[in-house]
Amino acid sequence: MQRIDYGLAELNKETTFGGEGGEKERHVPRIDMSDYEGRKQEIADALWTAATEIGFFQLVNHGIPQEQVDEAFAMSERFFALPSEVKAKYPLVGGTNAGWEYKAQVRPSTGTADHKESYQITLPRMEKLWPSGEELSGFKAVMLSFERANWALGMKVLECFRLKLGFAPDFFTDRHDPQSPEYQSTLRLLHYLGMENAKPEDFKMWRAGAHTDFDCLTLLHQRPGQGGLQLCPGKEAGELEWTDVEPAPGVVTCNIGDMLMRWSDDKLLSTLHRVRMPKPHESQGSRYSMAFFCQANKDAVIQGPEKRYDPITAHDYLQQRIAANFAKH
Ligand SMILES: O=C(O)CCC(=O)C(=O)O
Ligand SMILES: [Fe+2]
């Protein structure tokens, strides 16, 4: 693969992680979010340990009702089952993180398109991007309420990191204010294509190539029986060893993204991950997941307490990352 020189250091690193690598078991911490107000300090300590050691953790008792998660998954499946001509009426517009794309995301790590389609919801940019009620009744209402539930959970987690980093109360919540036109957090529905009729060479591809996320914090909903997510901590050179993150009922899998890594002067780790193809004994069917990306509002200025990096706005930061992933748009 030809190497392109990307502007950000994070991106130049990402071009070196596309290979198969090995596998290794690792412990992904579970964090109990119950009695959040009463246990905030304890939760913050547990989140901090997880985020500084492995960059991934799974929230339990997180407050998003299972029925709401199931309802959103059901709607997502119905959306992707719409005819392509309908979905194509709501296309991803370059640089916006809003709308539908089909096999359009080329990861700098692999140089090939992810084997998936996705539909992204970024609230201020959704004009003309919602399917009509006739096409998919109830979709918008279900997704708006699911978006908000994820936002609220994301802000609880970020508030704990805020506490540990020593920023003022509500620092991150203010910078992810959904009332602002600068809001750019994103709910992404994902459909990884079924492999039932795939050719052997298709299995050499990735459902999602190795990458780190651009955002502050990702909340990921997976379905039991639809695994494939793998993480690899550290960004050292050499053979990488990957760990399966198994979906479990009732958990929300979280990872730190590059924006928060910068904002914490590299203390909180944005960990490499990918979605591999199913193994022969695993389900070959479609895989659905839903990710909520807490991305600071465009006008937020990212700089850590120790000022390790020059300040950059969240807008400029994200644009560089999107440009590197959707070159064709
Ligand atoms: O679908 C998954 O399990 C992971 C998705 C992901 O890593 C992403 O969209 O950034
Ligand atoms: Fe990701």
Among the CATH numbers 3.40.640.10, 3.40.50.300, 2.60.120.330, 1.20.58.1610, which is that of 9-325? 2.60.120.330
Q: Which ligand is nearest to the CA of 292?
A: 1
| 133 Cα–ligand 2 center, Å | 30
Can you tell me the distance from the alpha carbon of 52 to that of 66, in angstroms, rounded to the nearest whole number? 29
| C-alpha–C-alpha distance, residues 183 and 125, integer Å | 9
Residue with CA at minimum distance from ligand 1 atom 7: 274
For the record, the structure tokens of 173 come out as: 């919540």
Element (H, E) at 220: strand 217-222
Separation between Cα atoms, residue 143 and residue 187, nearest integer Å: 8
Residue 314 contacts residue 299 (beta carbons within 8 Å): yes
CA distance linking residue 319 with residue 324, whole number of Å: 9
Supply the angle between the helices 40-53 and 139-165 in degrees, to the nearest 10: 90
Give every residue of the chain whose pLDDT is below 70, as ranges.
1-16, 235-238, 326-329
pLDDT for position 47: 98
Instruction: Tell whether ligand 1 has an atom less than 6 A from the beta carbon of residue 229.
Output: yes
Give me the residue spans of the domains in the chain. 9-325
- The predicted pLDDT at position 3 comes to 42
319's CB contacts (< 8 A; 6+ apart) are 95
Quick count: other Cβ atoms within 10 Å of Cβ 305? Answer: 12
Which one of the ligands is nearest to 246 CA?
Answer: 1
At residue 123, the pLDDT reads 97
Question: What's the pLDDT at 321?
Answer: 79
pLDDT value, residue 1: 36
CA distances from 268 to 40, 59, 211, 302 (A): 18, 17, 16, 14
The two tokens of residue 233 are: 């901590």
- Model's pTM, two decimal places? 0.93
pLDDT for 244 equals 96
Q: How far is the CA of 324 from the centre of ligand 2 (A)?
A: 15
Q: Provide φ and ψ at 45, rounded to 5°.
A: -65, -45
Q: How far does the centroid of ligand 1 lie from the alpha carbon of residue 218, in Å?
A: 9
ipTM confidence score: 0.99
Q: Are 158 and 92 in contact (CB under 8 A)?
A: no
Q: Hey, what's the torsion of the CAs at 300, 327, 6, 12, to 10 degrees? A: 100
- The pLDDT of residue 157 is 98
> What pLDDT sits at residue 14?
59
136-193: pLDDT as tens digits: 999 999 999 999 999 999 999 999 999 999 999 999 999 999 999 999 999 999 999 9
Torsion from C-alpha of 133, 134, 135, 139, nearest 10 degrees: 20
Give how far Cα 258 sits from Cα of 3, 23, 35, 45, 273, Å. Answer: 21, 24, 29, 21, 13
Determine the distance separating the centroid of ligand 1 and the alpha carbon of 291, expressed in angstroms: 7
**Which amino acid is present at 245?**
V
pLDDT at 329: 39
Q: What is the pLDDT of residue 16?
A: 61
Q: Which atom of ligand 1 is nearest to the CA of 188?
A: 9
Q: Give the residue whose CA is nearest to atom 9 of ligand 1.
A: 291
Is 44 within 8 Å of 156 (Cβ atoms)?
Answer: no
Beta strands in 48-160 (DSSP E): 56-60, 99-102, 116-121
